[in-house]
Structure 1
């Protein structure tokens, strides 16, 4: 999301008469050059800064410079791994410096100023909200189906340690991300309009279904959930949650005044999703039927 751009005032006393370049740098590297004429526009016979061009310039710099922070997470040995700060363009300061260049004459240069971007989830928060388990669900799969098992494990790693803040809506597709070959997902059986076929990321609906039952136990507010067009064997009938990048999503809202933490792990042929929060949370749990431990030779989605 682009940061709001500061309005630049009309150039009544300092019209655009120079074309000398402005060199824009960051971390000792030249990013681009611009000149005053690129920002020139006129309204009612008076020159002014084209704010659309200014916004485009800052957007380009944000694409090049902004770096997302890395949230803290819980490691394999149950240890907390600290997060890492990111960075973002200091739009206010940069706009002021650009403003000075546009009012002046001659060439100039600007080193793009940045601000730290701190992760929403830090070590202290994780330590607080992993103390009380409020939901858990286990499903089972045929671990000999290597492609499907691989996809389930990859998606579970993307979901693990995710925190949903009070009042926030969780989206499975947004958190786990697009399932692509570039991310390591493999072809495995999927159900499309009641028919079984091969698709990239086949198997992850077992994770979304396991998550649904776990958070439903924890009493969250389910916002969006769809069942498969064909019965799936890993959860009781009507307890599944199908997902697709260009189709259905699974979403829920955290109704509590405390953040909730999602842990998702694969152990052999078991998919386990647990939900935690702080000791002070006051939940209203739901009754959810357990999944069957008996598996067919092959399972889909």
Structure 2
């Protein structure tokens, strides 16, 4: 009200002048009366304006609780929201469903954004015995995230995204000895005169050659091999699609995945994902195949043998062999006899 003090003073002076005048009003006095009325109106308007401003400030100071999601790796804010706007305190089921959908999208990704979940790309050994690092397995625990968000929704707060990062379970010092003992082996045959299919088998076999499987590592054929397209050197060859053999880029890589399956199946591993072909294939017995398709069906297993393993592949004279090896120091640790 301080800014109106001068106006009130002026109004008071004018009023006193009017009251001290004669009963008969001159033209000047009438004019002054009109000015007083106008000044009073301005004062009233200013008072209302100031009251509205004060009410607005009061409303602004009472903010609804906010929840802020933090990336634990970068410490950046990735999402800020007001729980009440999504049903918290009004429709709890709707709010929880919304939070669960957010958690799922953060984990798996959307059409526009990559998710936090990442399959492990295993380490491998190059031709010089040097370890080429892959990528660890990253999992966003959706239920844990949902629970953390719900626990702070009433009063607001920050929530770090619960990410669990798992590196490969082996000691680098052991890597050079992992090729000492063959624990399991399997071979399949192919017609090496069929250039396209032979090339595809060669490329996919090379992609899994000298791959290290640490203890409890989860191996994904598609993640390890990558896209089987022309850009990566794969050629047209017959492949099984919807119960029929048709020509397609990358035909033949399923022989590599099936050969790998029959080798690791001799060990104590656990299968995460495995699929059969829609047709009978000739390179393995019926029911002993493991079909794959990049971006779709995958062959995945977990190394539950209790020791680190090494995958090695050999191609010669129309034969593909996959060997599973380890060091002599680990040979006696195997819990299952071959």
1:255-274 equivalence runs, <5 A: 258=307, 260-266=309-315, 270-274=319-323
Match of 1:297 in 2: none
Separation in 2, partners of 1:214, 1:88: 28
- Corresponding residue for residue 97 of structure 2: 52
Where structure 2 has 5 or more consecutive residues not aligned to the other structure, the ranges are 1-61
Contact preservation (8 Å) 1:88, 1:115: yes
CA RMSD, 1 decimal: 5.2
TM-score by length of 2: 0.52
In structure 2, the CA distance between the partners of 1:40 and 1:215, relative to structure 1 (3 Å rule), is closer
Q: Is residue 103 of structure 1 aligned with residue 155 of structure 2?
A: yes
Q: In 2, Cα distance between the equivalents of 1:254 and 1:84?
A: 17
**Which residue does 1:119 correspond to in 2?**
167
Q: Which has the larger radius of gyration?
A: 2
Q: Tell me if 1:163 matches 2:200.
A: no
Q: Distance in 1 between matches of 2:246 and 2:93?
A: 59
After superposition, the Cα gap between the structure-2 partners of 1:47 and 1:72, relative to the gap in structure 1 and judged at 3 Å, is closer
Partners of 1:228 and 1:215 in 2: how far apart?
22
TM norm structure 1: 0.57
Contact 1:222 1:253 in 2 (8 A): yes
* Paired residue secondary structure (2:331): coil
The superposition leaves residues 232-261 of structure 1 with CA deviations (integer Å, 9 ceiling, x where unpaired) of 4xx5x8489444348998898978554544
170-179 or 182-191: which moved more? 170-179
The change in CA–CA distance for 1:202 and 1:131 in structure 2 (over 3 A counts) is: same
User: 1:119: how far off?
Assistant: 1.9
1:49-94 CA-partner distances (Å, limit 9, x unpaired):
9333333333333345625354322223343334544655587689
Evaluate the alpha carbon distance shift between residue 76 and residue 38 of structure 1 in structure 2; reply closer, same or farther with a 3 A threshold. farther
Match of 1:34 in 2: 81
1:75 aligns with 2:126: yes
- Higher strand proportion (structure 1 or 2): 1
SS at match of 2:122: coil
Structure 1 runs not aligned, ≥5 long: 1-16, 286-301
Shift of 1:148: 1.6
Distance 1:169 1:71 in 2: 9
CA distance in 1, matches of 2:224, 2:75: 35
